[in-house]
Amino acid sequence: MNRKQAFKEQTRQLILDAARKLYLEQDVSQCTMRRVAAQAGVSAASVVVHFKNKVALMEAALAEDISQTWEGALKNMPEKGLLATRINHIWLTMFTFYDGNKNLYRELISHTVFSLEKDTPAIRKDVDAFLNFLATVIEDEKTAGRMAKDVDSMVLSMSLFSQYIGVEVMFFRDPAMPPEAAAKMVEKMNRQTLTGLEIT
């Protein structure tokens, strides 16, 4: 890395550190790109060079904590028991994490869910990592004879994850919903999906 690249990376990190500090300490509406620039000690133009808009900056600033939480949940998922119960550990971990600053993460999710993938690369990376992880777990279940061989592991992964996303919407819309209730709702949905309803 040459000196120019090093300086650019250093500036980017200053901006991310400043943004993260402001997001965690203040209301999101107050965290303008100009205010982030002042906190970082750089020009407003420098912020725009690195992050084209507030959504991109917010995602980049908060992505590391979310990624670490996801990764920790995956590593600590129970190895034995029904699949819906085991992956419920992941749902509960994420809902508990978001509940620590529900307003902030409501803003993040509401602004990024329908953004283009190229504008929210960290979220795409986390989702892909989770789906691949869960597909591997499902393949292991098939190998162990606990799941039908013809199950498409990626389709099932996306189905289970989409149920989590659906409850996540309700969780953020309802300030009174505790993490435990949200996770239990996803578990019930996952269980019903895994049990199957259609008789052929």
Q: DSSP 3-state assignment of 153?
A: helix
Residues 9 and 57 placed together within one structural domain of the fold: no
Q: Give CA–CA dist 98/83, Å, rounded.
A: 23
Give yes or no: residues 109 and 191 share one domain.
yes
Q: Say if 200 falls within a structural domain.
A: no
Are 79 and 151 found together in one domain?
yes
Domain check: are 68 and 44 in the same one? Answer: no
- CA–CA gap between residue 149 and residue 173 (Å, rounded): 38
Distance CA 21, CA 15 (A): 10
CATH number for the domain including 129?
1.10.357.10
Same domain, 169 and 91: yes
Q: Which residue has the higher pLDDT, 182 or 50?
A: 182
Residue 112: is its pLDDT beyond 90? no
| 57 in any annotated domain | yes
In a domain, 141, yes or no: yes
**d(C-alpha 187, C-alpha 184), whole Å:** 5
User: Tens of pLDDT along 58-108?
Assistant: 998 898 899 999 999 999 999 999 999 999 999 999 999 999 999 999 989
Q: What is the CATH number of the domain that holds 38?
A: 1.10.10
Say how far apart CA 162 and CA 85 lie, in whole Å. 17
User: Which range of residues forms the domain containing residue 169?
Assistant: 53-195
The structure's pTM equals: 0.88
> What pLDDT, on the 0 to 100 scale, is given for residue 31?
85
Q: Which of 9, 33, 51 is the last residue of a domain?
A: 51
Nearest to 52 by CA among 10, 113, 115: 115
Closest CA to 47 of 21, 8, 104: 8
Give the pLDDT of residue 1: 67
Same domain for 90 and 66: yes
pLDDT grade for 119, boundaries at 50, 70 and 90 = confident
Residues 113 and 125 in one domain: yes
For the chain, give the percent of residues with pLDDT over 70. 98
Residues 127 and 79 in one domain: yes
Judgement on whether residues 45 and 143 belong to the same structural domain of the protein: no
Write down the residue that tokens 């190895």 correspond to. 79
**What is the number of structural domains in the chain?**
2
Q: Which of 31, 51, 71 is the last residue of a domain?
A: 51
The per-residue pLDDT for 94 is 97
- The pLDDT value given to residue 26: 84
**Position 133 in a domain:** yes
Do 28 and 63 reside in the same domain of the chain? Answer: no
Q: Where is pLDDT greater, at 76 or 120? A: 76
* Whether residue 135 sits in one domain with residue 124: yes
The verdict on 41 and 134 lying in the same domain is no
40 within some domain:
yes
